Structure 1
Amino acid sequence: MRQSPLFSGIIYIFLGTLFTFFAIQNINEDGGWGFFTILLIILATFDFGSGIRMILFHFQLKRQQTKK
């Protein structure tokens, strides 16, 4: 069974939020921007971008299916 792009997009947005939360916690504990914090922010950025792209793709597919 395949997952819909909407579900995958929501999972990606959730992961991006989780990575952002961990990055903020890491900054508060260590008091600065280290390698791990920057890595978490990069992962969150990719996840947010992928999530938005998947959600937009879902709505594009739905629009094409209703035109047929």
Structure 2
Amino acid sequence: MRNSPLFMAALYFLLGCVFTRLAITNVTDTIWNFWTLLFAAMATIDFNLALRLILVKFTKKKQ
């Protein structure tokens, strides 16, 4: 059984929010440390995947 793209988009969006929160709480003096940049990059990838899945859902609906 496959999950719907909208459900997967919601999960990726939630993961993006979690990684954004981790990046914000990880900042001590400067944002230029490894873990903060890693969490921010992972959040960016998750938000990108969520938007792509939402677009896939609506383009499939039109066809």
Common topology (TM > 0.5): yes
What amino acid is the match of 1:31? D
Residue 22 of structure 1: SS of its match in structure 2?
A: helix
Q: TM-score, normalised by structure 2?
A: 0.92
The RMSD of aligned alpha carbons is 0.8
Q: Which residue of 1 aligns with 2:23?
A: 23
Q: Which 5+ residue runs of structure 2 have no aligned equivalent?
A: none
Q: Compare the two structures and name the one with the higher helix fraction.
A: 1
CA distance, structure 1, for counterparts of residue 38 and residue 25 of structure 2? 14
* Equivalenced residues, count: 62
What amino acid is the match of 1:32? T
- CA deviation after TM superposition for structure 1 residue 31, in Å: 2.4
CA distance, structure 2, for counterparts of residue 4 and residue 49 of structure 1? 17
Percent identical? 44
- CA deviation after TM superposition for structure 1 residue 11, in Å: 0.6
Q: Which 5+ residue runs of structure 1 have no aligned equivalent?
A: none
CA distance, structure 2, for counterparts of residue 44 and residue 8 of structure 1? 15
Within a 5 Å distance, the mapping from 1:1-68 to structure 2 comes to 1-27=1-27, 30-33=28-31, 34-64=33-63
CA distance, structure 1, for counterparts of residue 29 and residue 11 of structure 2? 30
